[in-house]
């Protein structure tokens, strides 16, 4: 059943849905800043829990309370592991490695704090024995030797933990750091989900992208698969829309059809008859207003100029 587009509520809903597509286009300009701001928030929260742990260790080293030392090791690290589980999408080995790096550092620091307390209390007993004229037990000095060996290891492990967390945010192809769940939540509508799934399938299949680009036939095949993914109707096509929006979409579809005809006509002279047949099948595929179509019409292809064109300009044309 179609909604009555003359109804003010229906017209407002149409504008509301179109707003999401326009906002998604505008959001591309600051996606990287938004993503890495979220990454920094995750790293900052993780390091804040470590600060609480080390601060508690330093405080209880002065107060000489053994149990308080280990409370500030166990509780902050438990929260750090829970925080890691909620905000990072890692495989089992990565989770195990990161958990070990997060726990070992504060654990070794807790050992150093305990040895420091034992060394200080040993000194107090030795001074009391010296004053009383009793034999002095110097076994407490072994604590100082253990501290000198363990404390540098704790610093090194903590630096490795920070470096490993930062490596999770590195993407070799320049894409967003998708190992952080907060970054994935940027795409609320899931408009880029199909492209991500296609990339994952290519990675799992072990395809060599460079060799595929060198072969014209393989390139056409990849374009055909990508075009087949566009056959799913966009969300804006499933609801009634304002006449202005429909007119703008019809203009985009016409431009997209002309663009596809021109591009495949130039490639037809360089490929075989079979490739030309695939090209003609590609041009006959129905085009719908999707995110990929809007990308090609608004910004052009990789070889052409990239001049932004707004919705109002398309309608005026």
**pLDDT given at position 273:** 57
Q: Do 234 and 282 lie in a common domain?
A: yes
Q: Do 311 and 231 lie in a common domain?
A: yes
Q: Do 157 and 217 lie in a common domain?
A: no
Final residue of a domain: which of 149, 167, 185? 167
Return the higher-pLDDT residue of 146 and 190. 146
Q: What percentage of the chain carries pLDDT values higher than 70? A: 51
Q: Do 40 and 141 lie in a common domain?
A: yes
pLDDT digits (tens, 9 = 90+) for 71-116: 888 999 999 999 988 888 888 898 899 999 999 999 999 888 888 8
Q: 212: exposed, middle or buried (C-beta count within 10 Å: 0-12, 13-18, 19+)?
A: middle
**pLDDT given at position 233:** 44
Q: What's the rounded Cα separation, in Å, for the pair 78 and 51? A: 14
Q: Residue 259 is part of which domain span?
A: 193-316
**Is 249 inside any structural domain?**
yes
**Contact partners, residue 288, CB within 8 Å, separation at least 6:** 230, 231, 232, 233, 234, 237, 253
Q: Do 46 and 150 lie in a common domain?
A: yes
Return the higher-pLDDT residue of 128 and 1. 128
**Is 245 inside any structural domain?**
yes
**Contact partners, residue 79, CB within 8 Å, separation at least 6:** 49
**Is 182 inside any structural domain?**
no
Stretch among 3-7, 100-104, 246-250, 285-289 having the lowest mean pLDDT: 285-289
Q: Do 226 and 303 lie in a common domain?
A: yes
Mean pLDDT of the chain: 70
Q: Do 308 and 200 lie in a common domain?
A: yes
Please report the DSSP string for the chain in residue order: ----TTSHHHHHHHHHHHHHHHHHHHHTTTHHHHHHHHHHHHHHHHHHHHHHHHHHHHHHHHHT-HHHHHHHHHHHHHHHHHHHHHHB---HHHHHHHHHHHHHHHHHHHHHHHHHHHHHHHHHHHHHHHHHTPPPP-TTHHHHHHHHHHHHHHHHHHHHHHHHHHHTT--TTS---TTBHHHHTT-TT-TTHHHHHHHHHHHHTT--HHHHHH-HHHHHHHHHHHHHHTTSPPGGGGS---HHHHHHHHHHHHHHHHHHHHHHHHHHTTS-HHHHHHHHHHHTS-----HHHHHHHHH--SSS------HHHHHH-
Final residue of a domain: which of 128, 149, 167? 167
Which range of 57-66, 198-207, 211-220, 248-257 scores highest in mean pLDDT? It is: 57-66
Final residue of a domain: which of 123, 149, 167? 167
**Is 122 inside any structural domain?**
yes
Q: Do 47 and 145 lie in a common domain?
A: yes
Q: Do 154 and 246 lie in a common domain?
A: no
**Is 186 inside any structural domain?**
no
Q: What's the rounded Cα separation, in Å, for the pair 51 and 56? A: 8
**Is 57 inside any structural domain?**
yes
Tokens standing for 65?
């309370």
**Considering the entire predicted model, what is its pTM?**
0.53
Q: Do 124 and 36 lie in a common domain?
A: yes
Q: Do 248 and 212 lie in a common domain?
A: yes
Return the higher-pLDDT residue of 125 and 4. 125
Q: How many domains does the chain have?
A: 2
Q: Do 47 and 140 lie in a common domain?
A: yes
**Is 18 inside any structural domain?**
no
Rounded mean pLDDT, 34-60: 89
**Is 125 inside any structural domain?**
yes
């Amino acid at each position: 059943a179609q909604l009555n587009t003359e109804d003010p509520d229906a017209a407002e809903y149409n504008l509301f849905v179109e707003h999401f597509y326009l906002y998604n286009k505008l959001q591309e300009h600051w996606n990287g800043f938004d993503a890495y701001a979220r990454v920094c928030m995750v790293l900052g929260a993780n390091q804040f829990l470590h600060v609480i742990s080390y601060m508690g260790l330093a405080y209880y080293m002065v107060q000489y309370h053994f149990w308080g030392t280990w409370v500030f090791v166990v509780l902050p690290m438990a929260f750090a592991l829970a925080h890691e589980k909620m905000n990072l999408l890692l495989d089992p080995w990565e989770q195990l490695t990161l958990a070990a790096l997060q726990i070992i550092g504060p654990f070794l620091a807790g050992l150093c704090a305990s040895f420091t307390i034992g060394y200080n209390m040993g000194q107090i007993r030795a001074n009391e024995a010296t004053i009383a004229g009793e034999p002095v037990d110097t076994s407490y000095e072994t604590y100082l030797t253990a501290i000198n060996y363990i404390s540098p290891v704790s610093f090194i492990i903590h630096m490795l933990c920070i470096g490993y967390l930062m490596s999770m945010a590195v993407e070799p192809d320049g894409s967003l750091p998708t190992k952080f769940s907060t970054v994935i939540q940027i795409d609320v509508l899931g408009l880029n989900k199909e492209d991500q799934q296609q990339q994952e399938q290519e990675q799992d299949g072990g395809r060599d992208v460079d060799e595929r680009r060198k072969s014209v036939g393989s390139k056409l095949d990849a374009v055909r698969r990508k075009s087949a993914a566009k056959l799913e109707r966009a969300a804006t096509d499933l609801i009634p829309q304002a006449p202005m929006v429909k007119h703008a979409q019809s203009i985009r579809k016409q431009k997209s059809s002309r663009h596809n005809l021109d591009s495949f006509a130039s490639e037809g002279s360089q490929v075989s008859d079979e490739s030309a047949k695939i090209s003609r099948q590609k041009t006959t595929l129905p085009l719908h207003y999707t995110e990929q179509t809007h990308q090609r019409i608004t910004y052009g292809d990789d070889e052409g100029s990239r001049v932004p064109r707004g919705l109002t300009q398309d309608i005026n044309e």
